[in-house]
Amino acid sequence: MKNPVTPEGERISEAEYAVMDALWQASPLSATEICAHVCQDRDWSLATVKTLVSRLVAKNVVDAEADGRRYLYSPRIQRSDYVGGESRRLVDRLFGGKAAPLFAHLAESEALSDDDLAEMEALLKELRK
């Protein structure tokens, strides 16, 4: 099955995800505005952001619209679609397509707090209605 994120089935790298995150928070943004969101935390330059944006445009997950001498970038995919596809890929790859072993692993490794467990229980009750 192709990755639902990109038409060509390409993955979004961790660095590209940082750019996408900025665009999901507010868009459209110029490369300079994206850099204002991510460059300081990641020790990136504007050139790095422009390279990453170019890759995302080539993967058809970001639109580029000319605005005078600059471009404004907007995501072509929703965050929820990306998270859904990546979650499914994780469950398929590591847990044979079954979500229960993932939750069991998280619970056994104490990665889930009591609040997390309560939220999951409430969600399960809601889904069963």
> Residue 31: pLDDT above 60?
yes
Structure confidence by residue, pLDDT tens digits, 105-125 = 887 887 788 888 888 888 888
pLDDT of residue 6: 56
How many CB atoms within 10 Å of residue 53? Answer: 23
Residue 122 CA to residue 12 CA, distance in Å, equals 32
> Residue 97: pLDDT above 90?
no
Q: Who's near 18: CB < 8 A, 6+ residues apart?
A: 38, 42, 52
Structure confidence by residue, pLDDT tens digits, 55-89 = 999 999 999 999 999 999 999 999 888 888 888 88
pTM, two decimals, is 0.74
The domains found in the chain, sorted by start residue, are 1-96 (1.10.10.10), 98-129 (no CATH)
| E runs forming strands in 1-129 | 62-67, 70-75
pLDDT of residue 3: 42
